[in-house]
Amino acid sequence: MNQRSTVDRICHALETSANPVTRNYVETSRLASVLEFLALELGGPDMNHYLSSAYRYRGIVAFELCRYDAALELFSRALERERSAVNLAHMKDVVAKLGDSMPNELPIEVVDVEKIVH
């Protein structure tokens, strides 16, 4: 079997395993590793696209497991490899989640400093 068709099959399997209905994160992580290895082994003009896909799927797993710091790093790697609307949208989602987890009020130390300055 030709390696390009193997990569295409892996990409299709990744879409299925990472689907919110399926949620097979172990298989998604395994397939992302295989895709990364094949991308590096094949090289060529599609290497960055395949590496971006591997990072994106790892980021999806991290995001679904509420590991937003890891997801942000993985999605930024994907965006670095391939500047696409999908990668940018994933980055936006992680930043929004990280923003939601920030406290609404400033720590007392910051409030006290503001009183002193003003």
Q: How confident is the model at residue 6 (pLDDT cuts 50, 70, 90)?
A: confident
pLDDT tens-place string over residues 17-44? 888 888 899 999 999 999 999 999 999 9
Q: Count how many domains the chain has.
A: 1
Q: Which two tokens stand for residue 64?
A: 């679904």
Q: Is the pLDDT of residue 102 over 70?
A: no
pLDDT tens-place string over residues 70-93? 999 999 999 999 999 999 999 999
Phi-psi region of 82 (alpha: psi -120 to 50; beta: other; left: phi over 0): beta
Helix, strand, coil percentages for the chain (3-state, nearest 5): 75, 0, 25
Domain range enclosing 75 = 3-117
Output the domain CATH number for residue 74.
1.25.40
